[in-house]
C-alpha cells in the first residue's frame, strides 16, 4: 500500500465516490427540521401526535434516570421519550430509535412493570388468550431487549387469566409482600373486580415464575352496573337488563389516603369522569363502601373529564420524585368526534409533600403541546407554492381544512412556518378527510391541486387547475373545482404518474373496496385520453399483484424517484405501519412487484428494519436538503408528522460540504492495525466507514453522535478506506484513511 502511486490512489478514491447503489433504501428519523407555529418553534415537531396514550416508565438509555414509554391505542403505535437535561432543567425528548426495540405484536394496551424484581421493567400486554409477558433481557450494552416470558398468564389449574381489551388492569403489589399482583374487572361481565394474587413469595418460587391464584372474584364487594354512568353498588348486585355488551372498565390502584392499603381510581366506557373509591379495609381484606365514593375526581381542581372512557396513570413525569396523575381517553377511535384529541393527555401535578397525594391540573396537552397537531388524520403534500425555489407544505385533515406551512428556509435547509389553518377557505366547502396532492393534470407544466375528499358517505377525487404563470406563485380558484369520474369510496386514494412513459399521467388507485374477489390493493388506470384531456380507463384491478390484506387496510400510495436513477418507485403505507417500497415498476408494469421494507436504520444498533408508524398514514416526498434525493414526510392518524431523510445504502454522497469552521481531524493516518483511529470534531458528528467497493464496514459497533470517536481498526485488512463524517443536520464529508 505504501508504494501505491498517487495517480492510482486518486483514481480509486474517485471511483469510490461514483459507485452506483443497488436498489436498497436507507432512511433515518429526523427531528431537527424546524416548524414554527404562532411565532413559537415547535420543540418536537416530527413526533407524530398522540390520541389515546397509555403511560409507563422504563430505563431506556442506561443513564440511571427512567424514561417514558407510551402506547397509543388509536394508533397502535409505541412512542419513546428520554429524560434529558437542558440548561440545568430536566425535560422529555422524543427518541424514536428505542421504539423498534420493543416487540412488534403489542396491542390493545401495554403496561411496563418489574415482575421478577431485577430492577428492570418488563412488558405486560393484551392478547386473545389473556395477558402476555415479555421479560426485560437488556444486556451490559444498555440497549433495551425483551424475550417472551409467557404466552399468557395462568392461574389456579392452568386457566387463562383474562383481561379484556377494553379493561385496563392494575398491576402492582397489592399485599406488600414484594411481588406483582393483578386487579382487574371481570372479563366476561365487567361488573365485579377480580384479585389475582402472585404466589412467588409465599411459595419461594424463582423470581421469573408467574404463578397466580384467584384470591377473590368480588374484591371489596364492589359492583359496577353496566350501561349506567357511575352505577356503583357496594355489597350488592345489579339487576340485569338482558343486553350482551358490557362496558369497558379501567383501574388504577394506589394509596390515596395514606393508610397503606390500595384505593382505586376507576374509568368507565359509559361515563366521562374519573371516580375515586377509597378502601377502608386492610391490605388483605378490602372494604369498599359508598362513603368512600367520590365522583368527578379530583375534586379540588378541574376534574378529569372526557366525553367518555377516561383512564388514569401514576408516574413521575415532572422530575420532582413524586408520582403525578396522568389521565387520557382509553378509546380506539373518535366516534362522532366526541374526544378532543388535541388535548387528550391531562397532567395533574402531585403537590403533596407527604405519602397522601394531592393533584393539581397543570396542562391538558402533556407532550402534545410540543408537537404538530392538525387534528386527526393529517395528510401532507409538498410543492413550491410561492415560486421561491423551495418546497412548501400543505397538511390536510379529517375536519375538512388544509393548513399551509410556508418554507421560510432554503431549498437545502427547510424551515416550515404555519401561515394559515384554512388554505383556500376549504373549511367552508363542506368536505371532510381532505387529502391534498399535486399533479399536472392538463400537462401545461404547472402543478394542479388534487383534493381527495369525503362528502357524506361517499368520496371523490377533485382537482383545481393552476392558472399561475410559469415560475409564479400557484393560483387556485375554489370556484373552478372539478371532479374525476373515478375514486368514489371514502377510502380511495390516488397517485398520478406517467407510468407507461407516453407523456401523460396515469392513475393508480388504492381502495378498501374490492369490486371483485380477485381485486388487489391497487388498481391501475391507463390514460387513454390526451395529456391535456385525460381519460382514465381501468386496465388492471390487481396492479403489481399486491394483495388486499385485512391487516393492511387504508393503503396510501405515492410514486416518486427515490434514488436518482430516473426510474420511479412505488411507496405504500397502510394500517400495518410499514413503509413498503417497490422498485422497477415501469419495467414490470403488468407483473408482480417485490417489496422492500427493511429501510429504517436504528442509530442504536446500525441495523435496518421495517418501520412501525401506526395506522391511517399518509405520505409525501420531496427533496428538502438539496441532495437530489427526496425525503419523506408521513402524516399520522393523530394529526402529526414524522420526517425521514434518506441516502442510498452503500453509496457515498456529499450533498453539502461541512462548513469551514468544522475542522474534522482524523489521526493517526496512516494507521497501524494495533492502534485506535480517532475522529475529532468541534461539533457532534457520526461517521460511516467504507471500503473501496463502497461497502459499509461495521466496526467498533454503531456510535451515537459525539465530538470524539475512537475506532479500533484491528479487524481491517490493509488498504485504503473512506470515513464519511455526518453532522446532525446530515451534512457529510468523506476522508481517506490508509490502514497499514
Domain 42-370 bears CATH identifier 2.115.10: yes
Q: What is the pLDDT of residues 336-368, one digit of tens each?
A: 678 899 999 999 999 999 999 999 999 999 999
- What pLDDT does residue 694 have? 62
pLDDT at residue 86 tops 80: yes
30 closest CA partner among 599, 632, 644: 644
Give me the mean pLDDT over the 142-163 stretch: 94
> Rounded to an integer, what distance in angstroms lies between the CA atom of residue 150 and that of residue 123?
11
Residue 15: its pLDDT value, please? 38
CA nearest neighbour of 338 among 306, 368, 311, 374 = 306
Which secondary structure element, helix H or strand E, spans residue 666, and what is its range? strand 665-667
**What CA–CA distance (Å, rounded) separates 483 from 460?**
7
Rounded mean pLDDT of 671-686? Answer: 87
Calpha distance 162→189 (Å, rounded): 12
Give the pLDDT mean for 503-527. 94
Sign of CA dihedral 414, 415, 419, 422: positive
User: Model confidence at 328, in pLDDT bands (50, 70, 90)?
Assistant: very high
Rounded Cα gap, residues 714 and 723, in angstroms: 16
| pLDDT of 242 over the 90 cut | no
Q: Give the span between the Cα atoms of 280 and 288, in whole angstroms.
A: 6
pLDDT of residue 23: 55
Residue 299 has pLDDT above 80, yes or no: yes
Cell of 620: 409525501
Q: What is the mean pLDDT of the chain?
A: 89
Give percent of the chain above pLDDT 70. 91
Report the C-alpha gap between 174 and 182 in whole angstroms: 8
81 vs 11, higher pLDDT: 81
Contact 386, 406 (CB under 8 A): yes
Q: What pLDDT is attached to residue 56?
A: 98
Give the span between the Cα atoms of 84 and 572, in whole angstroms.
Answer: 35
**Three-state SS at 543:** helix
SS3 232: strand
Contact 304, 312 (CB under 8 A): yes
Q: How much is the CA Rg of the chain, to the nearest whole Å?
A: 28
Predicted local distance difference test score (pLDDT) of residue 66: 97
Smallest CA-to-CA distance from 330 within 393, 379, 376, 267 is with: 267
- Taking CA 286 as the corner, what is the angle to CA 283 and CA 290, rounded to the nearest 5 degrees? 140
**Regarding predicted confidence, which is higher, 477 or 188?**
477
Cα-Cα-Cα-Cα dihedral sign, residues 316, 318, 321, 325: negative
pLDDT for the residue 247? 81
**CA gap 655, 627 in Å, rounded:** 5
Q: Where are the alpha helices (DSSP H) in 499-545?
A: none
CA 137, CA 102: separation in Å to the nearest integer?
11
Predicted pLDDT of residue 675: 86
Segments making up each domain of the chain, as ranges? 42-370, 379-646, 665-739
| pLDDT attached to residue 480 | 94
Res 206: pLDDT = 94
> What pLDDT does 729 receive?
64
Q: Could you tell me which of 209, 178, 179, 183 has the C-alpha nearest to residue 194?
A: 183
CATH number of 379-646: 2.115.10.20
Give the 3-state secondary structure of residue 702: coil
Residue 59 to residue 707: CA distance in whole angstroms: 25
Query: What are the start-end ranges of the E strands in 237-273?
Result: 249-254, 263-268
Q: How many residues are there in the chain? A: 740
Which residue intervals of 476-531 are DSSP H helices? none
Find all residues with CB under 8 Å of 87, minimum gap 6, and list them: none
pLDDT of residue 190: 66
Per-residue pLDDT, 17? 38
Backbone angles phi, psi at 150, to 5 degrees: -140, 145
Order across the sheet with 536-540: list the strands.
493-497, 506-510, 522-527, 536-540
Nine-digit cell string for 719:
488498504
Q: Looking at residue 6, what is its pLDDT?
A: 36
Dist. CA 551–CA 615, nearest whole Å: 10
Encode pLDDT of 3-49 as tens digits: 333 333 333 344 333 333 345 789 999 988 999 999 999 999 999 99
Quickly name the fold that domain 665-739 has.
Answer: Immunoglobulin-like (2.60.40)
CA distances from 102 to 69, 108, 313 (A): 10, 15, 21
Q: 356: how many CB neighbours lie within 10 A of its CB?
A: 12
| Three-state secondary structure call for residue 551 | helix
| 735-740 LR contacts (CB < 8 Å, sep 24+) | 735/664, 735/666, 736/9, 736/13, 737/666, 737/669, 737/670, 737/671, 737/677, 738/1, 738/669, 738/670, 738/671, 739/1, 739/670, 739/671, 739/673, 739/713, 740/1, 740/2, 740/670, 740/671, 740/672, 740/673
CA 281, CA 507: separation in Å to the nearest integer? 68
Distance CA 636, CA 338 (A): 19
Judged against a pLDDT cut of 90, whether residue 645 lies above it is answered with yes
- Give the residue from 268, 244, 265 showing the smallest Cα distance to 166: 268
Share of the chain above pLDDT 90, in %: 69
CA angle 206, 211, 212 (to 5 degrees): 145
CB 616 within 8 A of CB 332: no
pLDDT at residue 245 greater than cutoff 80: no
In this predicted structure, what is the pLDDT of residue 461? 96
pTM to 2 decimal places: 0.85
Q: Which of 681, 676, 708, 711 minimizes the C-alpha distance to 697?
A: 711
Q: What is the pLDDT of residue 342?
A: 92
Q: In the block, which residue shows the cell 390536510?
A: 396
β-bridge partners, 197? 213
The span from the CA of 25 to the CA of 651, in Å, is 10
Contact 592, 545 (CB under 8 A): yes
Average pLDDT over residues 462-476: 93
Q: Give mean pLDDT, residues 274-286.
A: 95
Q: Which three cell numbers stand for residue 139?
A: 444486556
Place of cell 436504528: 602
Alpha-carbon span 288 to 233, nearest angstrom? 10
Q: What is the C-alpha to C-alpha distance for residues 289 and 683, in angstroms, rounded to an integer?
A: 62
How far is Cα 180 from Cα 116, in angstroms, rounded to an integer?
8
Per-residue pLDDT, 50: 96
Provide the pLDDT for residue 32.
87
pLDDT of residue 241: 58
Residue 410, pLDDT above cutoff 90: yes
Lowest-pLDDT range of 96-110, 188-202, 539-553, 567-581: 188-202
Say what the alpha-carbon torsion angle 529, 534, 539, 542 is, to the nearest 10 degrees. Answer: 170
Q: What is the pLDDT of residue 703?
A: 63
Judge whether 379-646 and 665-739 match in fold: no
Amino acid at each position: 500500500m505504501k508504494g501505491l502511486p498517487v495517480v492510482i490512489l486518486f483514481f480509486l478514491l474517485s471511483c469510490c465516490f461514483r459507485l452506483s447503489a443497488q436498489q436498497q433504501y436507507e432512511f433515518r428519523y429526523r427531528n431537527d427540521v424546524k416548524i414554527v407555529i404562532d411565532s413559537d418553534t415547535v420543540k418536537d415537531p416530527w413526533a407524530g401526535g398522540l390520541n389515546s396514550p397509555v403511560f409507563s416508565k422504563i430505563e431506556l438509555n442506561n443513564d440511571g434516570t427512567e424514561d417514558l414509554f407510551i402506547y397509543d391505542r388509536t394508533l397502535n403505535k409505541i412512542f419513546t421519550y428520554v429524560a434529558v437535561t437542558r440548561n440545568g432543567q430536566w425535560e422529555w425528548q422524543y427518541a424514536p430509535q428505542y421504539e423498534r426495540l420493543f416487540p412488534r405484536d403489542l396491542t390493545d394496551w401495554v403496561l411496563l412493570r418489574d415482575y421478577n424484581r431485577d430492577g428492570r421493567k418488563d412488558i405486560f400486554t393484551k392478547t386473545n388468550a389473556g395477558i402476555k409477558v415479555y421479560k426485560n433481557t437488556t444486556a451490559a450494552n444498555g440497549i433495551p431487549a425483551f424475550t417472551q416470558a409467557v404466552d399468557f398468564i395462568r392461574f389456579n389449574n392452568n386457566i387463562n387469566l383474562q383481561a379484556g381489551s377494553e379493561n385496563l388492569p392494575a398491576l402492582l403489589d397489592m399485599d406488600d409482600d414484594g411481588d406483582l399482583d393483578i386487579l382487574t374487572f371481570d372479563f366476561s361481565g365487567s361488573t365485579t373486580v377480580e384479585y389475582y394474587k402472585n404466589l412467588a413469595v409465599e411459595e419461594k418460587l424463582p423470581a421469573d415464575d408467574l404463578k397466580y391464584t384467584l384470591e377473590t372474584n368480588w374484591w371489596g364487594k364492589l359492583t359496577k352496573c353496566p350501561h349506567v354512568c357511575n352505577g356503583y353498588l357496594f355489597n350488592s348486585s345489579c339487576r340485569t337488563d338482558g343486553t350482551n355488551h358490557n362496558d369497558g372498565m379501567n383501574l388504577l390502584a394506589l394509596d390515596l389516603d395514606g393508610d397503606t392499603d390500595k384505593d382505586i381510581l376507576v374509568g368507565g366506557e359509559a361515563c366521562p369522569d374519573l371516580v375515586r373509591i377509597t378502601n377502608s379495609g386492610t391490605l388483605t381484606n378490602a372494604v369498599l363502601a359508598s362513603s368512600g365514593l367520590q365522583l368527578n375526581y379530583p375534586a379540588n381542581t378541574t376534574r378529569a373529564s372526557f366525553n367518555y372512557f377516561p383512564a388514569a396513570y401514576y408516574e413521575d413525569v415532572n422530575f420532582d420524585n413524586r408520582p403525578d396523575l396522568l389521565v387520557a381517553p382509553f378509546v380506539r377511535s373518535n366516534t362522532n368526534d366526541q374526544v378532543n384529541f388535541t388535548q387528550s393527555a391531562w397532567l395533574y401535578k402531585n403537590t403533596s409533600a407527604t405519602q397522601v397525594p394531592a393533584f393539581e391540573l397543570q396542562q391538558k396537552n402533556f407532550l402534545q403541546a410540543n408537537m404538530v397537531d392538525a387534528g386527526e388524520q393529517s395528510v401532507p403534500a409538498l410543492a413550491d407554492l410561492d415560486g421561491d425555489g423551495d418546497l412548501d407544505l400543505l397538511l390536510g385533515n379529517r375536519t375538512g381544512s388544509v393548513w399551509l406551512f410556508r418554507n421560510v428556509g432554503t431549498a437545502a435547509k427547510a424551515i416550515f412556518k404555519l401561515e394559515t389553518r384554512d388554505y383556500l377557505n376549504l373549511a367552508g366547502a363542506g368536505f371532510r378527510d381532505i387529502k391534498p396532492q399535486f399533479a399536472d393534470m392538463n400537462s401545461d407544466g404547472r402543478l394542479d391541486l388534487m383534493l381527495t375528499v369525503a362528502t357524506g358517505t361517499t368520496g371523490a377525487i377533485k382537482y383545481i387547475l393552476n392558472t399561475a404563470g410559469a415560475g409564479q406563485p400557484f393560483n387556485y380558484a375554489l370556484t373552478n373545482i372539478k371532479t374525476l369520474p373515478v375514486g368514489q369510496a371514502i377510502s380511495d386514494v390516488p397517485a398520478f404518474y406517467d407510468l407507461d412513459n407516453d407523456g401523460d399521467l396515469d392513475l393508480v388507485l388504492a381502495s378498501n373496496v374490492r369490486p371483485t374477489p380477485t381485486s388487489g390493493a391497487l388498481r391501475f388506470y391507463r390514460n387513454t385520453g390526451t395529456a391535456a384531456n385525460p381519460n382514465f380507463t381501468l386496465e388492471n384491478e390487481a396492479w403489481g399483484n399486491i394483495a388486499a390484506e385485512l391487516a393492511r387496510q387504508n393503503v396510501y400510495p405515492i410514486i416518486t424517484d427515490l434514488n436518482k436513477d430516473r426510474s420511479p418507485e412505488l411507496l405504500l403505507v397502510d394500517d400495518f405501519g410499514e413503509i413498503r417500497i417497490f422498485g422497477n415498476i415501469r419495467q414490470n408494469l403488468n407483473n408482480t412487484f417485490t417489496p422492500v421494507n427493511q429501510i429504517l436504520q436504528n442509530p442504536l444498533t446500525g441495523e435496518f428494519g421495517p418501520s412501525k408508524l401506526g395506522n391511517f398514514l399518509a405520505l409525501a416526498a420531496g427533496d428538502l436538503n438539496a441532495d437530489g434525493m427526496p425525503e419523506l414526510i408521513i402524516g399520522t392518524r393523530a394529526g402529526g408528522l414524522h420526517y425521514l431523510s434518506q441516502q442510498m445504502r452503500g453509496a457515498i454522497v456529499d450533498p453539502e460540504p461541512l462548513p469551514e469552521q468544522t475542522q474534522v481531524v482524523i489521526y493517526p493516518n496512516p494507521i497501524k492495525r494495533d492502534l485506535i483511529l480517532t475522529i475529532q470534531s468541534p461539533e457532534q458528528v457520526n461517521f460511516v466507514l467504507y471500503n473501496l467497493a463502497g461497502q459499509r464496514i461495521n466496526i467498533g459497533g454503531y456510535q451515537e453522535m459525539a465530538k470524539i470517536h475512537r475506532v479500533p481498526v484491528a479487524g481491517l485488512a490493509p488498504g485504503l478506506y473512506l470515513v464519511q463524517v455526518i453532522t446532525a443536520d446530515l451534512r457529510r464529508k468523506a476522508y481517506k484513511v490508509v490502514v497499514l
